[in-house]
């Protein structure tokens, strides 16, 4: 008798879906004083758990459930079962719990399996692919999305005589899982998920928690999956629970029969005394681990005095642009920080990831990332308000290797200057420039209906090494309908840097890809010749007819000599796709937008365009990093 070998798994945080019904008769009959006490204790309990005041890591969220099965679902993610047990019992100790009864619950643990990567046998560390390791870590240590809607259900794989999942060979099961995943990837940016395993922990084998801002996206996804053989032949489902995420402070509105989240407050925004990075609030998360515990006395709270120098908005935006941060893509940011570091970017990334995990528990956090450019490493952190940024400033300044930091308000007058000072990645980044070029009959992509988002990174590692590392990433990207292409380009004239270009149909997909691309060896930021970052324009998709390739390269050299004498020109390189020598782009750096536009209006550029019509296989498309 043959016994199938189970695929390897790696577990992360334990999960508790705690589903409660409200005893409405008891609530209506209770005196106002008892109801006020119940609400006060209920809000306090839920807020402290959402803020992780009693835990070093994990996550919690609260949902209003629609339908008869339950009224409230509390989701907890914690490192241990003991931590889940404490959270559950502490709720029972509140006055609010007296007005609820348990409708259901589900215990499980986040997991990834060998279906995702066959090298997963003894643990994630066995996976050589750094990008895949990072992706798996995100799956087992997830951040609870702040999406409006949730859908939770448990499920099994069938063990019937005709359709027995566990009797299938591994390769067949992996094939089913891959095809199943292809459907899910079509909903990237619309639906996100937390998958938990529950064999031996609860009545089903898995728990699936889906999050979306549009509940019909969840319906469409599951409807399409029902026709996939992995579901139609082998899946059995438990009860479904659907609801809306709300902040603990909205509990009185829920009990009063009002809509939650309350008007003006979506699921991602707490009250003033809620999920902000205000160190004066008693319910705020404390930081206990070694890398994030700084100052502030025995409570473990950070010293909230800012550790950075205040600069003006334009100066900060210019510096952020140098490291590839476009403030127009983060319009919710109200305050920005940039700390330079002597440490290597790769070494600093690990410490920052741990810190970012804590920051992301606050709805005031926008972005924290490590960037490098021309040998300089920077830690960049954007927040919705200055108070939260000042709290983060102390943490960032204490990172090993960090030297100095600057910060600036991004509200008010500075907002108007963002487009000129910051650098953005995408063909939709500067419609004004595109409009000007369109008036000059210069093809700029989006005005003609083609909307792509470019993620462009430069690497100083050996170009063949970068090519080999990108290959498996590009293959995985190819499973997504939003992926256009990813390739490595080398400098036609032997420059030290190669370029990794990844094109996507949506900004969300490009942003997701950037996390994986940043793991490639030797990655630094986009080309930039000075501290201010300047103005960059990139002409992409110069697909040359093979018989004219040599002429095109020679003409570029002539144009390069012309550009060298133009006001504001910094640098221009011709980059060639390693997989297709006829696919090129020109990366050009200018001091100011006006300098670049002067070139586009020149007779020399018009002559170049006329020449291009003869030698190019297609019209050039320009993607701006401006």
What tokens does 571 get? 């640098």
Distance of alpha carbon 178 from alpha carbon 172, whole angstroms: 10
Evaluate whether 249 touches 270 at the Cβ level (below 8 Å).
yes
Helix (H, G, I), strand (E, B) or coil at 82: helix
Evaluate whether 48 touches 37 at the Cβ level (below 8 Å).
no
Evaluate whether 335 touches 414 at the Cβ level (below 8 Å).
no
- For residue 442, the Cα-to-chain-centroid distance in whole angstroms is 34
Residue 559: Cβ-neighbour burial (10 angstroms; 0-12, 13-18, 19+):
buried
Give me the residues paired with residue 59 across strands: 77
* HSE (side-chain half, CA atoms, 13 Å) at 240: 10
**HEC string for 130-142:** HHHHHHHHHHHCC
Evaluate whether 502 touches 509 at the Cβ level (below 8 Å).
no
Q: What backbone torsions phi and psi does residue 601 show, to the nearest 5 degrees?
A: -90, -5
Residues 6+ positions from 29 with CB-CB distance below 8 Å: none
Q: What backbone torsions phi and psi does residue 302 show, to the nearest 5 degrees?
A: -75, 160
Distance of alpha carbon 300 from alpha carbon 354, whole angstroms: 16
Alpha carbon separation from 283 to 47, 48, 50, 112, 306 (Å, rounded): 7, 5, 9, 33, 21
Residue found under tokens 């070139």: 599
Alpha carbon separation from 21 to 138, 151, 285 (Å, rounded): 32, 17, 28
Q: Pick from 250, 232, 259, 207: which is nearest to 66 by CA?
A: 259
Q: Pick from 329, 565, 539: which is nearest to 424 by CA?
A: 329
What tokens does 340 get? 């330079």
User: Pairing mode, if any, of strands 309-310 and 402-409?
Assistant: parallel
- State yes or no: is 153 an active-site residue: yes
Catalytic residue among 14, 106, 135, 153: 153
Residue 564, Cβ neighbours under 10 Å: how many? Answer: 10
Longest dimension (CA), the chain: 88
- Report, as residue numbers or ranges, the catalytic residues: 153
């Amino acid at each position: 008798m043959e016994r199938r070998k189970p695929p390897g798994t790696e577990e992360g945080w334990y999960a508790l879906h705690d589903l409660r019904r409200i005893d409405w008769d008891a609530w209506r009959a209770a005196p106002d004083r008892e109801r006020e006490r119940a609400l006060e204790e209920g809000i306090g309990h839920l807020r402290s758990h959402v803020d992780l005041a009693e835990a070093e890591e994990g996550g919690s969220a609260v949902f209003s459930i629609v339908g008869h099965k339950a009224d409230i679902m509390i989701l907890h993610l914690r490192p241990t079962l003991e931590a889940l047990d404490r959270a559950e019992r502490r709720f029972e100790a509140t006055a609010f719990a007296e007005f609820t009864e348990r409708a259901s619950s589900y215990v499980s643990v986040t997991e990834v399996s060998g279906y995702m990567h066959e090298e997963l046998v003894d643990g994630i560390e066995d996976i050589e692919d750094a990008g895949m390791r990072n992706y798996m870590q995100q799956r087992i240590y997830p951040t609870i999305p702040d999406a409006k809607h949730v859908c939770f259900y448990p499920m099994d794989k069938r063990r019937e005589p005709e359709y027995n999942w566990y009797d299938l060979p591994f390769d067949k099961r992996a094939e089913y899982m891959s095809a199943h995943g292809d459907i899910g990837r079509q909903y990237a940016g619309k639906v996100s998920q937390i998958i938990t395993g529950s064999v031996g922990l609860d009545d089903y084998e898995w728990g699936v928690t889906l999050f979306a801002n549009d509940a019909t996206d969840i319906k469409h996804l599951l409807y399409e999956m029902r026709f996939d053989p992995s579901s139609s032949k082998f899946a059995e489902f438990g009860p479904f629970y659907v609801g809306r995420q709300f902040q603990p402070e909205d509990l009185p509105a829920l009990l009063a029969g009002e809509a939650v989240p309350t008007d003006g407050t979506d699921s991602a925004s707490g009250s003033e005394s809620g999920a902000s990075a205000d160190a004066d609030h008693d319910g705020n998360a404390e930081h206990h681990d070694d890398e994030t515990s700084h100052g502030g006395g025995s409570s473990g709270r950070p010293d909230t005095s800012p550790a950075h120098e205040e600069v003006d908005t334009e100066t900060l935006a210019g510096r952020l642009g140098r490291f590839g941060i476009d403030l127009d893509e983060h319009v919710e940011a109200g305050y920005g920080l940039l700390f330079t570091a002597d440490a290597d970017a790769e070494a600093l990334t690990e410490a920052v990831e741990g810190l970012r995990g804590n920051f992301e528990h606050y709805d005031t956090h926008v972005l924290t990332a490590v960037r490098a450019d021309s040998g300089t490493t920077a830690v960049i952190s954007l927040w919705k308000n200055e108070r939260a940024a000042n709290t983060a400033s102390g943490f960032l300044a204490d990172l090993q290797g960090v030297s100095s930091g600057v910060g600036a308000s991004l509200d008010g007058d500075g907002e108007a200057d963002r487009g000129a000072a910051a650098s953005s990645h995408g063909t939709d980044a500067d419609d004004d420039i595109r409009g000007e070029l369109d008036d000059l009959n210069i093809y700029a992509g989006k005005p003609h209906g083609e909307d792509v988002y470019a993620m462009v990174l430069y690497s100083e590692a050996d170009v063949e090494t970068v090519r080999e590392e990108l290959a498996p990433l590009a293959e995985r990207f190819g499973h997504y309908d939003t992926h256009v292409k990813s390739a490595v380009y080398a400098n036609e004239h032997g420059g030290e840097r190669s370029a990794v270009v990844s094109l996507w149909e949506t900004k969300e997909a490009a942003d997701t890809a950037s996390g994986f691309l940043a793991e490639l060896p030797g990655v630094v930021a986009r080309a930039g010749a000075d501290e201010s970052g300047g103005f960059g324009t990139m002409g992409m998709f110069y697909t040359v007819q093979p018989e004219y390739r040599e002429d095109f390269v020679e003409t570029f050299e002539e144009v390069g000599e012309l550009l060298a004498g133009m006001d504001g020109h910094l640098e221009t390189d011709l980059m060639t796709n390693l997989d297709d020598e006829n696919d090129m782009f020109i990366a050009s750096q200018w001091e100011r937008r006006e300098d670049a536009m002067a070139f586009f209006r020149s007779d020399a550029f018009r002559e170049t365009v006329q020449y291009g019509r003869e030698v190019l296989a297609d019209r050039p498309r320009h993607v701006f990093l401006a």
